[in-house]
Amino acid sequence: MDKKKHYFQNIILVICVCFVACQSNKTGVDSPEKTASLWLNAYYNNDFERLAVLTTKPTQTQIAELKKNLYIDENKEYPFEITNINCRQTDNNNAECTFLFSDDVLKNQSDTLTLKLEDSKWLVQMPSLTD
């Protein structure tokens, strides 16, 4: 009887681990590339709620300030395209992602995002405005 109990405990443990792993993948922050893609799309679509989930705490403060001071004409479309997202880990907890950005004015402009690994999630860390 004791072996059956141990067997069922192990099965429940495996199911719980699989469930948690699947849930973390839904957030899209399990790799620098996914986070960068989600963050850039949220940023250029002015999706501030999504940005808050994808950024570090200090960056959340900056995004909140940007939201307060940004005028957005909601009747106007802002076409953009993000391509060639390439990320490299600079160490175990940091990564840099380069990408190309194009809109109706700029074409293939290169830029970089810095990401930090916090609580097993890759999050965008913008440079401090006071630095």
Per-residue pLDDT tens over the stretch 83-129: 999 999 999 999 999 999 998 888 999 999 999 999 999 999 988 76
Residue 80's pLDDT is: 84
CA atoms within 13 A on the CB side of 62: 16
Same domain, 60 and 17: no
Q: Can you tell me the distance from the alpha carbon of 68 to that of 4, in angstroms, rounded to the nearest whole number?
A: 59
pTM for this model (two decimals) = 0.70
Same domain, 78 and 22: no
Paired sense of beta strands 80-91 and 109-118, if any:
unpaired
Number of domain units in the chain: 2
Is 129 a member of any domain?
Answer: no
Per-residue tokens: 12:
């429940």
Length of the chain: 131
Is 101 a member of any domain?
Answer: yes
Range of the domain at 60: 31-124
